[in-house]
Amino acid sequence: MPPSEIRSLSPKEFLILDLLVQEGELYGLQLVKASRKRLKRGTIYVTLGRMEEKGYVESRLEDSPAKTGGLPRRLYTPTSFGRRVLSVWTRAAETLRPEFAR
């Protein structure tokens, strides 16, 4: 596969995947809270939408919508591809860290 076809993983996407792999299934707002202000609620869904297009995460609507008739929230989980990408990037980062530290 030529390098141009390898999908990238931005720092925000890395963080989201990392959080999702740790926690399993999260709402967008829970991701924002878990990220300790590194993710913003105004941009999280744009990033999540892009990650869904890349196949890193998948989503589903929550089972029981709010009693007041509000919209059901969307839950995000990492795909197996997303998990593999995260582990490859983590390993690559660990391998390269001493190189960049020189």
Partner 1 sequence: MSAGTHLRRWASRVCSARTMECLIDPVIADLQHEHEHANGCGQTWHRCVALLRGYFAFWRVLALHVPRLWLNRMVQLALAERRAIGRALFAAAVTMTLVTASLLAAPAHAMARRDSLALWLLVLLLPQSVPFSLPLGLSMGVVYGLRGRTATFQIRRLVIALGLGGSLVSASTMVWVVPEANQAYRTIIAGHVILRGPAEMPLLALRGQALALRSHRRDKQAGQLFLSYHARWALAGAALVFAVFGLGIAALRRGRIATIAIGAAMSVIYVSYFAQLGELELSILSNEPLSFALVWLPNVLITLTSVACLSVRNDRQSAISST
Could you list the residues that contact partner 1 (CB under 8 A)? 27-29, 40-43, 45-46, 48-49, 52, 66, 68-74
Tell the smallest beta-carbon distance from residue 11 to partner 1 (Å).
17
Q: Which is nearer to partner 1, 3 or 11 (CB)?
A: 11
| Strand 26-27 with 57-61, pairing | unpaired
Tell the smallest beta-carbon distance from residue 22 to partner 1 (Å).
21
Tell the smallest beta-carbon distance from residue 87 to partner 1 (Å).
26
Q: Which is nearer to partner 1, 68 or 95 (CB)?
A: 68
Tokens of 73: 């929230």
- Other beta carbons within 10 angstroms of residue 57's beta carbon come to 22
Could you tell me how far CA 86 lies from the centroid of its own chain? 9
Tell the smallest beta-carbon distance from residue 54 to partner 1 (Å).
13
Distance separating alpha carbons of residues 96 and 81, to the nearest angstrom: 22
Q: In what order do the strands lie in the sheet with 57-61?
A: 26-27, 74-78, 57-61
- Other beta carbons within 10 angstroms of residue 38's beta carbon come to 13
Q: Which is nearer to partner 1, 2 or 42 (CB)?
A: 42
Q: Which is nearer to partner 1, 17 or 39 (CB)?
A: 39
